Amino acid sequence: MNFKIRIVSITATALLSAVVYAQTPATNSMSQNQATDAATTNQVPLTKKAERAANRAFAKRIQQTIYKTKGLDGADIVVFAKANTGRVTLAGSIQSEDQNRIATDVAAKVQGVTSVTSKLTLQEEGS
């Protein structure tokens, strides 16, 4: 899946580069930056399958960062993420309020994250 996304992005980059470089200065009324911006806004949206794959990869990257963080031992955290918007939701159970703060702070620091919503529940003693 990840390989397919890379191929699609490389192909899109190559096509955009070809369009920008194919224009001659005499016939181009826009600057090169404006042409690149216009070409990027006209890109075809991702397919549902590619969008789901991007969301899973984004959530996995956040999940791995959370698991590597000290202070989250015993926490059971699941990450739901939207790669195109950067919105992240954390769900699951934690053992203390400090773990809630740590998890949301760590998730917010991952590149591409724009907002973090915590739906973590505090696990009762003895459960």
Full pLDDT tens readout for the chain, 127 residues: 555 555 655 655 554 454 444 444 444 444 444 444 444 445 567 799 999 999 999 999 999 999 999 999 889 999 999 999 999 999 999 999 999 999 999 999 999 999 999 999 998 776 5
Indicate if 67 and 107 belong to the same structural domain: yes
Residue 66 lies in a domain: yes
Count how many domains the chain has: 2
Whether 86 maps to a domain, the answer reads yes
Same structural domain, 68 and 23:
no
Measured between alpha carbons, how far is 9 from 28 in angstroms, rounded to an integer?
Answer: 26
Report the DSSP pairing between strands 87-94 and 76-82: antiparallel
How many residues are recorded in the chain? Answer: 127
Model-level pTM? Answer: 0.63
Sign of CA dihedral 29, 31, 34, 40: positive
